[in-house]
Amino acid sequence: MASVTIYDVAARADVSIKTVSRVMNNEPNVRPQMRERVLEAAAALGYAPNLSARSLAGSRSFVIAVFVDASLTLDHWRSERGSDYLQRIQLGATVETRQAGYHLLVELIDHDGPRVRQEVGALLAALKPDGVILTPPSCDNEVVLELLDKAGTPYVRLGPEKPEGLGPRVHMDDVAAAREMTEHLADQGHTRIGFIMGDPRYGAAPARREGYVAAMKARGLKVDKAWIRDGDFTFESGHKAASALLALPDRPTAIFASNDDMALGALAAAAEADLSVPGDVSVAGFDDSPVSRLSRPQLTTIRQPLVEMSTLATKMLISGVARNSGTEQRPRDELLPFTLIHRASTAAPKG
């Protein structure tokens, strides 16, 4: 059976080939009734536009790329945090690209490698994407931003650390979110609150630490350096940090981990120390990943709107409102809300 062509769709919808092309390319100024007629004809015939042909016919590639950090180990990406993070970003972007007739490509970028300039330059030359979504740490990488600006490729930065003059961004307020979680624990009566920081290469990690410290100081609570432990967003690092916190003579009565995977590590450390959660120690996380609802007890956490962030970033790229820093004095800045979700892992301290 011969493949269905644009001519077949035009004949079935009784419109011109140009009209079919405009509908398939999601161009404006097509009457809704006409667009619906063409889409119905395409669906009935099983027609799918040829990406290569569309690219050759115009200046667009119909490709949106997502740059993801390749320096994370494979085991880390297999972890709940890594896989859920990427899945939620892909979910929002995939829905939008599919509706607009675009393709989504995920590219691993080795930001710590010696050939990052050559690798990113080769990617842009080969793919010629119509836009790029930059996840941390790409969103703050000077080499990556420079190459995108030089190529004239629109991009949107998700959750960047550096906001000023570096192109449009979509983000949430990590400082405010961490501050609210710390205040939530203080409101329950905790005065000794431990904190597990994430990988400092990601802007969210120091931002969440800043929110924790700010809340402690605002409440007049002591910020003991021994109560702040380093982690890297993995279960293992959360377990190690929490074990150290729980071994202190004046151990914290609550532990706030910078993501849910590390909070799970804290739950395991508490169990090994024969401490109940939340009876002996409260544990809170960040991200609202699936594990936060599957753990026992379920985790109190911050819901990060990753799907909504990637959806909006994709819309900005496809609609053309995203512009590089060199073409816009005030890059677009979209701040999305977070949500504190109180579950069973946090409660008032004993006594």
Q: Which residues contact 64 (CB under 8 A, 6 or more apart)?
A: 93, 97, 102, 103, 104, 105, 129, 130, 131, 132, 133, 314, 317, 318
Q: What percent of the chain has pLDDT over 70?
A: 89
Residue 268 and residue 248: Cα distance in Å, rounded?
A: 17
Is the predicted pLDDT of residue 348 greater than 50, yes or no? yes
Work out the pLDDT band at 165, boundaries 50, 70, 90.
low
For residue 134, how many C-alpha atoms fall within 13 Å in the half-sphere facing its CB? 31
| Range with the largest mean pLDDT of 76-90, 211-225, 309-323 | 211-225
pLDDT greater than 90 at residue 167 = no
Q: Is pLDDT of 345 > 70?
A: yes
Predicted confidence (pLDDT) at residue 325 exceeds the cutoff of 90: no
DSSP 287: B
Q: Are 208 and 286 a contacting pair, CB within 8 Å?
A: yes
Distance CA 9, CA 17 (A): 8
d(CA 110, CA 308): 26
- pLDDT-derived band at 75, boundaries 50, 70, 90: very low
Distance of CA 55 to the CA centre of its chain: 28
